[in-house]
A = this chain, B = another copy of it.
Amino acid sequence: MKIHTLISPVSVEDLYFAGKTTVVIDVLRATTTIVTALSNGAKEVIPVSTIGFAMKVSGNAFGGKTLLGGERNAKKIEGFPLGNSPLEYSEDIVKDKSIVLFTTNGTKAIVRAKYSDNLYICSFQNINAIAKELAELNNDIEIVCAGSHGMFSLEDSVCAGCLIERIKNYTSDISYSDASKCSVMLYNKFKNDILGMLKESEHGKLLIDYGFENDLEFASQVDVQHIVPVYNSGVIKKKDTIQSDG
């Protein structure tokens, strides 16, 4: 199994992902929020890459049970009932709802990877479930760090490294790209203090400035959810939900 890691999705075209098995990571905060929403009973999350499309989709699709969520440069979007803090996505708010989500980097990365054969959503919170799924599939893997405006984000690379280390618990037949190797090193450097790493990261500092320090603590929790969110035809659902639908 060859594991390749993209520091940011902007360096490749949409078709780069055709036929691939891909994992998108945006620890702060989109993929943490998606995992939280689905864990708390949301029916699905619809990631969108423009605010205009978010408005359009939310209007009349999905039987009116949609909720708009997201942020632009870490701030809530006017007219959107939900921001991008995972703490907002509690069971009483999201249960059975379709969440239309727009974020600056994370949902754009997911949409960029839409032609993947298999497309998973990963955060620290559900990392072991994703690792197990990938090891069982045993395909080559593209890990996509959402990054920040095309730039490197420490927390996404550390999470990528954590995912690779977890995959190694299930299979030893792995080869690494340079970026994968670097991610593993970064994870091993920070693994004993994920929260401290988030607080030291550029995006973490920005979120603290904006009053979202609690999001960092929440996003730093490793293996507290055991769900596998899968993107398919524009929609992210929990894997077991998809199976029981079929």
Contacts and interface: CB of A to CB of B under 8 A. Distances in A.
Interface of A: 5-8, 10-12, 149-154, 157, 177-179, 181-182, 185-186, 189, 200-202
A150 B177 CA distance: 14
Contact of A186 (B5, B150, B182): B182
A144 to B, nearest CB: 12
B182 A6 contact: no
Q: State the copy count for this chain.
A: 2
A179 B12 CA distance: 19
A5 B189 CA distance: 20
A76 B70 CA distance: 49
A185 B182 CA distance: 10
25 contacts: A5-B152, A6-B151, A7-B7, A7-B8, A7-B151, A7-B152, A8-B11, A10-B10, A11-B11, A11-B149, A12-B150, A151-B177, A151-B179, A152-B177, A152-B179, A152-B182, A154-B178, A154-B181, A157-B182, A177-B202, A178-B202, A181-B200, A182-B182, A182-B186, A185-B185
A206 to B, nearest CB: 11
Contacts of A182: 152, 154, 157, 182, 186
A28 to B, nearest CB: 11
A202 B181 CA distance: 10
Contacts of A8: 7, 11
Contacts of A11: 8, 10-11, 149-151
A12 B147 CA distance: 13
A175 to B, nearest CB: 10
A83 to B, nearest CB: 23
A178 B152 contact: yes
Nearest to A150: B11
A201 B152 CA distance: 19
Nearest to A148: B178
Nearest to A154: B178
A149 B7 CA distance: 13
A202 B153 CA distance: 22
Contacts of A178: 151-154, 201-202
Contacts of A12: 150
